[in-house]
Amino acid sequence: MAHIPYQKRGRKVDFTVSYQWLPDVAQRPFQGMRCDWTYEDPPNIAEAWMIWPEFLNDAGAPITGDSPIPFAGRAAMYVVADQLRQEVHAARIHVGTTGHFVVGSLAIADAVVVSIEYLRDA
């Protein structure tokens, strides 16, 4: 089933990251994957948040169709739990905040916040 961009589902981009897939990870990135987010500071892999990536092309639009997802690039990030957007993440996420995409307890990519969009406007 093809991924439908989150904005077409009525979601707004909360923030954007630059990411780099970790070299030893067998999981390949794919559009629509629902990996979670952990903050680098403090490093706590057990504290994972449902903040999902949507991988972007060079023009800043979601990658569509069967186009491969690069191992490094940019991703729009969506906070899934609306209540936590203001209660937790608006205070913790700033340009330069570092974190990881994780699946369970496995970090699969490093990321750094490069822009803030809807996160504080909710």
Is position 40 within any domain? yes
Is position 116 within any domain? yes
76-111: pLDDT as tens digits: 999 999 899 989 999 999 999 999 999 988 899 999
pTM of the model: 0.91
DSSP 77: E
Is position 77 within any domain? yes
**How many folded domains does the chain comprise?**
1
24-60: pLDDT as tens digits: 999 899 999 999 999 987 666 678 999 999 999 999 9
Is position 112 within any domain? yes
Report the CATH number that the domain containing residue 91 is assigned in CATH: 2.40.30.10
48 vs 86: CA distance, rounded Å = 17
65 vs 63: CA distance, rounded Å = 7
12-23: pLDDT as tens digits: 999 999 999 999
Is position 2 within any domain? no
Q: Strand pairing partners for 103?
A: 106
Is position 4 within any domain? no
Is position 27 within any domain? yes
